[in-house]
Amino acid sequence: MLTQLTHDIATVSRRRWLAATAGLVLGLAAFSNAKAQETIKVGVLHSLSGTMAISETTLKDTVLFLIDEQNKKGGVLGKKLEAVVVDPASNWPLFAEKARELITKDKVSVVFGCWTSVSRKSVLPVFKELNSILFYPVQYEGEESERNVFYTGAAPNQQAIPAVDYLMKDEKVKRWVLAGTDYVYPRTTNKILEAYLKSKGVKQEDIMINYTPFGHSDWQTIVADIKKFGSAGKKTAVVSTINGDANVPFYKELGNQGIKATDIPVVAFSVGEEELAGIDTKPLLGHLAAWNYFQSIKDPANEKFIKAWQAYTKNPKRVTNDPMEAHVIGFEMWVKAVEKVKSTDPDKVIDALPGIEAKNLTGGTSKMLPNHHITKPVFIGEIKANGQFDVVWKTPGLVAGDAWSKELEGSKDLIGDWVGKKCGNYNTKTNKCGGQGS
Amino acid sequence: MPPPSPHYSCRGCIVSANFLDRLRAVLLAILLTTAFAVPALAGPFEDAVAKFANDDFSDTDEAIGAVAASGNPLAFPIISALQEGRLSADPDTKKVFVTGSDGKIIDAATGAAVDKLPDSAAAVRLNNRLRRAVEAAVGSLTLLSPDPAKRIAAAQSVFKSHEESALPVIDGALAKETNKAVKAAFTEARAAILLYKADATEVEKLEAVAIVKAKGDQEAMALLTGLGNELPPNVARAVTSAIASIQSNLATWSMVQNAWYGLSLGSVLLLAAIGLAITFGVMGVINMAHGEMVMLGAYTTFVVQEVIRTRYPGLFDYSLLIAVPLAFLVAGAIGVLIERGIIRFLYGRPLETLLATWGLSLVLQQAVRTMFGPTNREVGNPSWMSGAFEVGQITITYNRLWILCFTLAVFVILLAMLRYTALGLEMRAVTQNRRMAASMGIATSRVDALTFGLGSGIAGIAGVALSQIDNVSPNLGQSYIIDSFMVVVFGGVGNLWGTLVGAFTLGIANKFLEPVAGAVLGKIAILVLIILFIQKRPRGLFALKGRAVEA
């Protein structure tokens, strides 16, 4: 009897289950159909796991936040925006796969994503082949201008060169340590900086270049070397392109070995509010960072943004940083371009983007240039005891991003111009498209 | 208190003798200059103080100079408040306030007490250039401090800044100084000033060179190399030879320094590898999740510190001591779970073990990422682990020193445990000959679980120590897994002593290679050397012999 009973229950529940599933499937289909007609899809291609999750997760949240805000204002072209989030897991080839998935399967109109240069290089062919749009929000080494990519982070002349200028003029630095993680961004940036320093009359023996592996944690020797290099009677500074996790033990070692900013200042290009959240910043007082945005900058737009962001993340201590601002600017530019051409068609949007202006969060207006880079102000901030930055210097106006560095032999004649010349590497000497690079 | 010399006496200052007694430093400010200011009357001092309110770096610079030279008794409180971020200014009323270290607020220009800061007041900002100016000012203002340590610090900052204006004070102080160490510091500071003083005689300069040469450290080197070319030929020669002698001295010390760094790196490697020496070395389990046990230990430290921060802030200095047993329990318990749940089904199947534990490591990482977030978590250094001290010309940081001691202690305890306890005996018996041990009535599966738990627990306490020098992030373990395997394989599988020697050998070799080849190439060179070594001696430095090897 018991068996009979269980059988009955089983049949009934199986039938119910079948019906329920069928209903659900139909409903889902109808739902997604309806949705597909009324939304514009925005791809988010940031690592949510693996090494880069530490930095990129925040950017994913930023895009979701921006989409949420835009939808509150009624979306774009009368349609709601819908985020499609994928996780490329800090795995460079997977970035290309996920990009392809976003464009072909999910049919997104635009993608916001990537952090490391190697991930950007990995998705480039996909965006070219499938003709879609990528907004890249991180400071990078330059030497690139692609039709399908919009670079809202800083090019070297919008971060590295002004920082070195500041140290030279204000701190009277004569000796330079260029320390970086061993990959393409630090190597190219240091090459540019070395050429720039030499053009300013700095001798080879006054430049020390040092590379360390990703995630380097034993900094004793290098910090001792820096100390030694700095005891040559000339004012010395460290220009750090050390990336990611390795910064924390580096700064800890500096503090422990008693190197103060007043003796040897360190100016970093990859350390922001987010990275400092993991360290006790008191020993770091006075060390510098160069960015195009700091959370501490007093501007109504910035204060409003921080407030809304902290409300959205339900964390009143959540910090903001430079790449986030780059996404804010990039997102607004994309929205404006789409509204201008009344379409999300990539070709139309790509052609409309150069010349579009968007307010940045520090009181200025950034503009998309024909080389797909933007104009930005440059700030030098000193680390304060509370993990924020105190702006001690800024460029008088906005600096236009150079796709190709003027300091390097191979690239100084090249320009990117997608408006007039329709070319990313136009050689102004030979008047031909196609110089060094792709 | 030495009586002030008559021609420097303070004519007209409205300062109570009591105040002078308390703040001897002020005396110097008065000694420094014959000019004097009368508080409460507008004058150059008040004008200078008001400049702090302009929020302009060059105005602040001028204000520091003017205030430090004013001889006003408020100069020292103002400058030291500025250094510690306790000086605030109201940009609207141009008033400047000093918040004392005891929380009392006074008006910087008049010294009158103030109830509370106005809302618009903000701390006066500094940049590095100004911080240097402040340091130099504090240095010259504290040369006569009653605290010998402060006098030494002041003398050192004068040594660095070699400001000529400090010379008369140093001369005066030197004559009265009785403390030997302070006297030496003053003499060095005086020498530094004389070296840079244009009108010092050749004899004075030669003496100064000798004193600085005897100091013999990197600062002395910086001072000498910073001298320009406009020196008398005799002095220039002396300077060149002094530089050469300091350089050779520093070169010897740098060998000692490399050896110390090597020991320190070796201790970190050993600490990370020691747990693996049990799970992989003794049990033969290729445990790719070993690094995640280290990470769990580090996160345990973080949780312990969070609880202490919010509930019992007074216990912060003991947080690591509390975290060590907890980390051992957390990681050990998870280790036992892993062994019972996964690994016991896979004994004798190394490939499957490798894949399963590797998958497990990803699961653990993502679990931690979901629970604690992907960003780094701040684990603070207790006061006894911060800072450094100097031995000769090398700097030894406390955190590295403690980690070295801790590692050796863990090693000794583990060794003793394997040697002298019943569990240790059973472990050795089971790993050497499982069937024989079982025949003797040892519950081998229980011993397996406990051994794996022990190895994991030790990885957990390694995490406590590593949280002090590395990032506490979900990726913490990944950076140690390769190094750990390298150490265990190099040292000889199954031999704890081998792991010890292996770790220190690799650490020291790495640190002697690094200055020559750079961090990246150094690491590659080490890997290549290990590959060659394993070709020659496949079983590592200390190979196990006998039947256990084949088992």
Q: Angle at the Cα of A43 (from A41 to A47), degrees rounded to 5?
A: 155
The string over B264-283, giving b where at least 16 C-beta atoms fall within 10 Å of a residue's C-beta and e elsewhere, is bbbbbbbbbbbbbbbbbbbb
Residue B114 has what pLDDT? 84
Does A285 score more than 60 pLDDT?
yes
Do residue A243 and residue A194 come from a single domain? Answer: yes
**Could you report the per-residue pLDDT of B131-153, keeping only the tens digit for each?**
888 888 887 778 877 888 888 88
Q: Is A308 helix (H, G, I), strand (E, B) or coil?
A: helix
CA dihedral angle for residue B387, residue B392, residue B393, residue B397, rounded to 10 degrees: -20
Residue ending a domain, choose from A332, A356, A377:
A377
Rounded-to-integer distance, Cα A114 and Cα B189, Å: 54
Q: Is A387 helix (H, G, I), strand (E, B) or coil?
A: coil
**For residue B103, what pLDDT band results from cuts at 50, 70 and 90?**
confident
Q: Is A139 helix (H, G, I), strand (E, B) or coil?
A: coil
Amino acid identity at A262: T
Residue A6 has what pLDDT? 46
Amino acid identity at B511: K
Stretch B511-518: mean pLDDT: 88
Does B551 score more than 60 pLDDT?
no
Stretch B201-210: mean pLDDT: 87
CB within 8 Å: A213 and B520 = yes
Does A37 score more than 60 pLDDT?
no
CB B170 within 8 A of CB B184: no
Sole residue written with tokens 């339900």 = A314
Does B12 score more than 70 pLDDT?
no
The tokens of B79 are what? Answer: 């400058």
Stretch B533-548: mean pLDDT: 78
**For residue B435, what pLDDT band results from cuts at 50, 70 and 90?**
confident
Which among A49, A278, A390 is the nearest to B377, CB-wise?
Answer: A278
Cβ atoms within 10 Å, residue B109: 25
Residue A14 has what pLDDT? 52
Residue B35 has what pLDDT? 40
Do residue A150 and residue A88 come from a single domain? Answer: yes
Do residue A56 and residue A119 come from a single domain? Answer: yes
**Could you report the per-residue pLDDT of A335-352, keeping only the tens digit for each?**
999 999 999 999 999 999
Residue A17 has what pLDDT? 53
Q: Which residue of B has its CA nearest to A230?
A: B222
**For residue B464, what pLDDT band results from cuts at 50, 70 and 90?**
very high
Rounded-to-integer distance, Cα A368 and Cα B3, Å: 71
The tokens of A87 are what? Answer: 């996780």
CB B250 within 8 A of CB B218: yes
* Domain contains A388: no
B381 in contact with A, Cβ within 8 Å? yes
How many angstroms separate the CA of residue A107 from the nearest CA in chain B?
A: 29
Stretch B262-282: mean pLDDT: 90
Do residue A181 and residue A286 come from a single domain? Answer: yes
Does A1 score more than 70 pLDDT?
no
Residue A265 has what pLDDT? 93
3-state SS, B488-513, equals HHHHCCCCHHHHHHHHHHHHHHHHHH
Please give the residue that has the higher pLDDT: either B70 or B64.
B64
Residue A400 has what pLDDT? 94
Residue A273 has what pLDDT? 86
CB A160 within 8 A of CB A145: no
Which among A258, A278, A390 is the nearest to B125, CB-wise?
Answer: A390
For chain A, percent of residues with pLDDT exceeding 90 = 62
Stretch A284-306: mean pLDDT: 93
Number of domains in chain A: 2
Interface of B with A in 19-58 (CB under 8 A): 57
Question: Which of A21-30, A383-392, B359-368 is the least confident region?
Answer: A21-30
What φ, ψ does residue A121 adopt, rounded to 5°?
A: -60, -30
For chain B, percent of residues with pLDDT exceeding 70 = 91
CB within 8 Å: B374 and A57 = yes
Rounded-to-integer distance, Cα B37 and Cα A140, Å: 55
Contacting residues of B for A286, CB less than 8 Å apart: 126-128, 131
Please give the residue that has the higher pLDDT: either A268 or B176.
A268
Residue B9 has what pLDDT? 41
Residue ending a domain, choose from A332, A358, A377:
A377
Do residue A252 and residue A175 come from a single domain? Answer: yes
Q: Which residue of A has its CA nearest to B134?
A: A262
**Could you report the per-residue pLDDT of B362-396, keeping only the tens digit for each?**
999 999 988 988 777 888 888 888 888 888 888 88
Q: Which residue of A has its CA nearest to B243?
A: A232
Cβ atoms within 10 Å, residue A340: 14
Q: How many helices (H) and strands (E) does chain B have?
A: 22, 7
Which among A57, A225, A258 is the nearest to B388, CB-wise?
Answer: A258
* Domain contains A199: yes
Does B467 score more than 50 pLDDT?
yes
Residue B383 has what pLDDT? 85
Contacting residues of A for B474, CB less than 8 Å apart: 53
Residue ending a domain, choose from A257, A275, A291:
A291
Picking from A426, A405, A407, the residue whose alpha carbon sits closest to that of residue A415 is A426
- Residue A253 domain boundaries: 158-291
Helices within B101-227 (DSSP H only): 128-141, 148-161, 167-176, 180-196, 202-215, 218-225
Distances in Å between the alpha carbon of B263 and those of B268, B311, B391, B407, B467? 9, 37, 16, 11, 19
Highest mean pLDDT pick, A69-73, B250-254, B543-547: A69-73
Question: Which of A51-60, A408-417, B1-10 is the least confident region?
Answer: B1-10
Q: What's the whole-number average pLDDT of chain A?
A: 87
Residue A189 has what pLDDT? 93
Rounded-to-integer distance, Cα A312 and Cα A314, Å: 5
Residue A103 has what pLDDT? 96
Residue B288 has what pLDDT? 92
Stretch B252-256: mean pLDDT: 89
Please give the residue that has the higher pLDDT: either B128 or B414.
B414
The string over A386-399, giving b where at least 16 C-beta atoms fall within 10 Å of a residue's C-beta and e elsewhere, is ebbbbbbbbbeebb
* Domain contains A406: no
What φ, ψ does residue A122 adopt, rounded to 5°?
A: -70, -30
Does A11 score more than 80 pLDDT?
no
Picking from B540, B536, B509, the residue whose alpha carbon sits closest to that of residue B269 is B509
CB within 8 Å: B375 and A277 = yes
**For residue A77, what pLDDT band results from cuts at 50, 70 and 90?**
very high
Which among B135, B257, B376 is the nearest to A248, CB-wise?
Answer: B376
Q: Is B1 helix (H, G, I), strand (E, B) or coil?
A: coil
Q: Which residue of A has its CA nearest to B475?
A: A51
Residue A16 has what pLDDT? 54
Contacting residues of A for B132, CB less than 8 Å apart: 262
CB B344 within 8 A of CB B453: no
Do residue A274 and residue A179 come from a single domain? Answer: yes
User: What DSSP letter does each residue of A388-421 carry, written as one string?
Assistant: -EEEEEE-SS-EEPPSS-SSSTTTTTEEEETTTT
Sole residue written with tokens 């980390």 = B327
Q: Angle at the Cα of B58 (from B53 to B62), degrees rounded to 5?
A: 75
Sole residue written with tokens 């985020």 = A83
Rounded-to-integer distance, Cα B80 and Cα B108, Å: 12
B55 dihedral zone (left: phi>0; alpha: psi -120 to 50; beta): left
For chains A and B, count residue pairs whose Cβ atoms are closer than 8 Å: 149
Does B507 score more than 50 pLDDT?
yes
Contacting residues of B for A271, CB less than 8 Å apart: none
Does A233 score more than 50 pLDDT?
yes
Amino acid identity at B241: S
Does A93 score more than 90 pLDDT?
yes
* Domain contains A18: no
Residue B420 has what pLDDT? 94
Residue B392 has what pLDDT? 80
Picking from B353, B359, B299, the residue whose alpha carbon sits closest to that of residue B330 is B299
Do residue A88 and residue A206 come from a single domain? Answer: no
CB within 8 Å: B376 and A233 = no
Does B100 score more than 70 pLDDT?
yes
Q: What's the whole-number average pLDDT of chain B?
A: 84
B123 in contact with A, Cβ within 8 Å? no
* Domain contains A431: no
Sole residue written with tokens 């420094």 = B32
**Could you report the per-residue pLDDT of A96-127, keeping only the tens digit for each?**
999 999 999 999 999 999 998 989 999 999 99
CA dihedral angle for residue B293, residue B294, residue B299, residue B305, rounded to 10 degrees: 130
Rounded-to-integer distance, Cα A298 and Cα A283, Å: 25
Residue A2 has what pLDDT? 44
The tokens of B423 are what? Answer: 């569990």
CB within 8 Å: B132 and A274 = no
* Domain contains A22: no
Sole residue written with tokens 């318990």 = B333
Stretch A23-28: mean pLDDT: 50
* Domain contains A4: no
Highest mean pLDDT pick, A308-312, B81-85, B86-90, B211-215: A308-312
Do residue A88 and residue A114 come from a single domain? Answer: yes
Do residue A198 and residue A148 come from a single domain? Answer: no
B344 in contact with A, Cβ within 8 Å? no
CATH code of the domain covering residue A164: 3.40.50.2300
**For residue A197, what pLDDT band results from cuts at 50, 70 and 90?**
very high
User: What DSSP letter does each residue of B191-244 carry, written as one string?
Assistant: HHHHHH-TT--HHHHHHHHHHHHHH-SHHHHHHHHT--S-S-HHHHHHHHHHHH
Please give the residue that has the higher pLDDT: either B322 or A317.
B322
**Could you report the per-residue pLDDT of B276-305, keeping only the tens digit for each?**
988 887 788 889 999 999 999 999 999 999
Do residue A181 and residue A222 come from a single domain? Answer: yes
Q: What does R_g of chain B's alpha carbons equal in angstroms?
A: 31
Rounded-to-integer distance, Cα A435 and Cα A212, Å: 31
Please give the residue that has the higher pLDDT: either B330 or A435.
B330
Does B6 score more than 60 pLDDT?
no
Question: Which of A407-411, B401-405, B509-513 is the least confident region?
Answer: A407-411
CB within 8 Å: A49 and B374 = yes
Please give the residue that has the higher pLDDT: either B284 or B353.
B353
Stretch B478-482: mean pLDDT: 87
Residue A59 has what pLDDT? 94
* Domain contains A384: no
Residue A412 has what pLDDT? 86
Residue A290 has what pLDDT? 94
Q: Give B468: exposed, middle or buried? Use CB within 10 Å, 0-12, 13-18, 19+.
A: buried
**For residue B42, what pLDDT band results from cuts at 50, 70 and 90?**
low
Residue A21 has what pLDDT? 53
Do residue A324 and residue A276 come from a single domain? Answer: no
User: What DSSP letter does each residue of B19-33 carry, written as one string?
Assistant: HHHH-HHHHHHHHH-
Contacting residues of A for B473, CB less than 8 Å apart: 54, 245, 278
Do residue A146 and residue A188 come from a single domain? Answer: no
CB A286 within 8 A of CB B131: yes
Q: Which residue of B has its CA nearest to A47?
A: B374
